[in-house]
Amino acid sequence: MVLGIGDGDEDKDHARHHQEERVIGYPPDQLFDVVAAVDFYEDFVPWCQRSEILIRKQEGPVEEVEAELEVGFKIFTESYTSHVTQERPRYVRSTVSGSNLFEYLDCLWEFNSGPTPNKTALKFRVDFQFRSPLYHRVANLFFDEVAARMVSSFERRCEQVYGPPIEDPVVSNVEQ
């Protein structure tokens, strides 16, 4: 091992997983539209430096998109092509395989009606494995920060596009 970077055999499971569920103060179609707008990721997704749609095709209710993304984190910058499958307003799924950066990446956003009107019960999951042991080590150091900022960046983008989120009304039991 040199400078704390080995040949990758010290830790056989290089895969990373993150899953969360949240109620978001926007309706499913609005949240879907923000997540599906891959060509705008460079404007608001942490560490995304460039996002470009290469191919877009519609097959009934399902749209398929090929997008090239460039990501940079600390001293690293890499590009990869993402295959995005989406059905408005139900889900957006992006996958990457065979890239120089990822062994695989599978990211799923599911949008369901929330507990009150104009809210979304969001399920977000991402599974990935870097090809490089070096990138794997960097991911181990910063993964929690990256995961925490991902969904929050989409919430902030919703606020930029649609205004403040829908809040539950405050109910007062004060009698007059």
Judged by average pLDDT, the poorest of 1-5, 116-120, 154-158 is: 1-5
Residues 6+ apart with CB under 8 A from 129: 14, 15, 16, 102, 103, 104, 105, 136
Q: Which tokens hold the place of 20?
A: 């969360």
Q: What is the pLDDT, as a whole number, of residue 116?
A: 93
Q: What is the pLDDT, as a whole number, of residue 169?
A: 58
* pTM of the complete model: 0.84
* Strand ordering across the sheet containing 102-113: 15-24, 120-130, 102-113, 91-97, 76-87, 62-73, 48-59
CB atoms within 10 A of CB 28: 22
pLDDT tens profile 2-34: 333 334 444 456 788 999 999 999 999 999 999
Residues 6+ apart with CB under 8 A from 132: 101
pLDDT tens profile 47-66: 899 999 999 999 999 999 99
Q: What is the pLDDT, as a whole number, of residue 142?
A: 72
Q: What is the pLDDT, as a whole number, of residue 112?
A: 98
Q: Is the pLDDT of residue 121 over 80?
A: yes
Indicate the pLDDT class of residue 72, thresholds 50, 70 and 90: confident
Structural domains in the chain? 15-162 (3.30.530.20)
